Amino acid sequence: MIVRILLADDHTIILDGLCSLLGKNQDFKVVGRASDGMSAVRLAASLSPDIVIMDVSMPGLNGIDAARRILAENPKTKIIALSMHNDGRYISAALKSGAMGYILKESAFEELIAAIRTVMKGQCYLSASIAAVVIKDYIRHLEKTESGVFSVLTPREREVLQALSEGLSTKEIASRLGVSIKTVETYRSQIMEKLDIHSIAELTKYAIREGITSL
């Protein structure tokens, strides 16, 4: 199957270059070119391309909002964002808009080919350097929003929680951890307060649910 591609970029030299390079591949056909976001939306509506390769920063209507409009009208169209920005904000906005690929303009042409083939399979494609940024942002986001046991409790509190859920007494936990009984009792109080759970039975259920221990 020949992949029908719409190109959108406000730099003529980039459009010419992409047209020339893609035209050398018999699996691809450039069906249209747009130099601004609104033109990209109109052409996508009339041409129904398989893929739109679109610059993130364009006059009139930026590529991110243009992607939203294109996908609202034709959800089957795949969007690959092409950008000079490797900032997490741009990447996140592009992916939230529905783009399935994000390629830096500095990338080799072979990477764009790989992106097209990957996206046509229904999979996402990110430049290697972009993937690292996305992972870092994702981890940072989790640290801010997670409410699970691994973010709520300290490592020592998790140890005490596991021991409690496994049926160990306060004395046994103190011996296992090499701390005083009073310290274990303090940890238990902190755990219950943080989790708003006030019985060993409920703590045990919580520990099993969170993967701290098993049945």
Highest mean pLDDT among 35-44, 56-65, 198-207: 35-44
Instruction: Report which of residues 144 and 130 the model is more confident about.
Output: 130
Local confidence band at 147 (pLDDT 50, 70, 90 cut-offs):
low
Lowest mean pLDDT among 109-123, 125-139, 189-203: 125-139
pLDDT, tens digit, for every residue of 170-202? Answer: 999 999 999 999 999 999 999 999 988 999 999
pLDDT, tens digit, for every residue of 46-104? Answer: 999 999 999 998 888 899 999 999 999 999 999 999 988 877 778 888 888 999 999 98
Q: Is 52 helix (H, G, I), strand (E, B) or coil?
A: strand
Largest CA distance in the chain: 76
Q: What are the structural domains, with CATH classification, of the chain? A: 3-142 (3.40.50.2300), 149-209 (1.10.10.10)
Per-residue pLDDT at 130 exceeds 90: no
DSSP H or E stretch at residue 54: strand 51-55
pTM: 0.66
How far is 201 from 212, CA to CA, in rounded Å?
A: 14
Instruction: Give the pLDDT score at 52.
Output: 97
Averaged confidence pLDDT in the chain: 88
How far is 165 from 162, CA to CA, in rounded Å?
A: 5
How far is 195 from 56, CA to CA, in rounded Å?
A: 44
Instruction: Give the pLDDT score at 131.
Output: 72
Instruction: Give the pLDDT score at 69.
Output: 95
Instruction: Give the pLDDT score at 139.
Output: 60
Structure token digits, residue 22: 């893609």
Instruction: Give the pLDDT score at 51.
Output: 97
